[in-house]
A and B are shown apart, each in its own frame.
Chain A
């Protein structure tokens, strides 16, 4: 059974800092892994999708990596801005099941 964990639960950084958010999963038979952000009281916004055959994806200041052998994915945010403040969620779907299992998220606050 796939389990997804995100550490830390909360993070506060000054503006401009580069930061890494971590996501761990227990079943390496990943089909896809997706990163989202959720603003308070809002739905989820897709940030990046990494397919099982890929090792990383980049979009603007965001870079996500996937290491199936170690059961880890990281989301790297470069030059953080106050507008990046949100909860970041990772979700993994395992081959054959197709349902995404979500981590509990990292609540990020970027201080101006």
Chain B
């Protein structure tokens, strides 16, 4: 596609429920990144993919967070048993290759009640 897309744009959920956030990178981009931006905070790196492989999962906040990428394209970030502190904007970016210029999607605003 023309740019990185993310869905849904907004998600409101109840504490304890599972959520899935989707990212569609720019076609042909091999690297994909997930970040989290909490209110008034900077961007926090979560995980990156090279192809379908995630070499560095150190940024995931807890074992309730997981991510996968299939076909070297779409990625899904899953948060299980959501907590109120998970409320944030989740941003996805892609780049042609690892460490290259990143292009961001519009984000998914997650609110956990």
Contacts and interface: CB of A to CB of B under 8 A. Distances in A.
A34 B93 CA distance: 13
The 10 closest A-B pairs by CB, nearest first: A44-B104, A102-B43, A104-B42, A49-B101, A98-B99, A98-B98, A43-B106, A43-B104, A93-B99, A31-B99
Interface residues of B, number: 23
A11 B102 CA distance: 26
Interface string A8-49: 000000000000000000000001101010000011111001
A105 B42 CA distance: 7
B31 to A, nearest CB: 7
B104 A100 contact: no
B103 interface: yes
A46 B99 contact: no
Interface of B: 31, 33, 35, 41-43, 45, 48, 50, 56, 59, 91, 93, 98-107
Chain A interface: which size bin? Answer: 20 to 34
Contacts of B41: 104
Nearest to B101: A49
A5 B47 CA distance: 21
Nearest to A42: B106
Given A43-B106, A104-B42, A98 B31 contact: yes
A49 B93 CA distance: 15
A34 B99 CA distance: 10
